[in-house]
Amino acid sequence: MVWRLLKSNRPEIGTEFWPNQDGSSTASIRLAGVGFDKHYWQACPGIVEISDRGKWITITAHLKYASANNNDGVVQIWKTYADGKIEQPCNMTDGAWYTPNANGFESGYIMGWSNSGFNEQTNFYVDNFKVSETPLKNIPSPPRNASFVTP
C-alpha cells in the first residue's frame, strides 16, 4: 500500500492478498482518493499459488496514479522465479483513478496484512527491497540455492 499525503482522504493505491479455498491467494487492488474508494476484488488471481510455497520469488510492482486527462493509472505486478521464469499476474494499465495533487507517493508499507491464504504459520523472507522513481534495471535473480529453515 502506498499513498501521497499524511491526512484523511489521501490518494492511495495498494494490493491486498486474500485467501482462496485451495490455499492460493488473489490480490485485490484498493484505490482511494478524493471522492472515490474502489476495490477490485479479483484483480490479480494467482498472485501466490500453491506451487510458490518454499520458493524464492522476486516481486516487482509498478504503481501510478492516472493523469488528469487520461485513464492511464497503472497497477502491474511481476513474479520472477529462481530459474528466470517471469509471470505477470496483474496488468492494469487503463485505471480511471485520477486524484488532484497525486503526483507521487511519500508513504507506504509492505507485509501489512496477514491474509495470504496459508492456514498455518508462514515465514516470509524479504531482501533487496527497493523503491524507485524510474524503471528498475539489473534486478538480481532470486538465489538458486536458497535453503529455508523453520524456526
How do residues 70-86 score in pLDDT, each as one tens digit? Answer: 888 888 888 888 888 99
pTM of the model: 0.72
> Given this model, what pLDDT does residue 54 score?
82
142 falls within a domain: no
Residue 33 lies inside a defined structural domain of this protein: yes
Q: Is residue 23 part of a domain?
A: yes
The DSSP call for residue 140 is P
CB-CB contact of 110 with 31 (8 Å):
no
Sheet-wide strand order for 12-19: 36-48, 25-33, 12-19, 2-3, 107-108
- Residue 27 in any domain: the answer is yes
Q: Considering the domain boundaries, does residue 118 fall inside one?
A: no
Q: Which residues of the chain have pLDDT under 70?
A: 1-11, 34, 101-107, 109, 111-122, 136-151
Where in the sequence is the domain holding 57, given as residue range(s)? 2-108
Nearest alpha carbon to residue 79 among 118, 51, 114, 113: 51
What is the total count of domains within the chain?
1
Q: Residue 141: inside a domain, yes or no?
A: no
Instruction: For strands 25-33 and 36-48, give the pairing.
Output: antiparallel
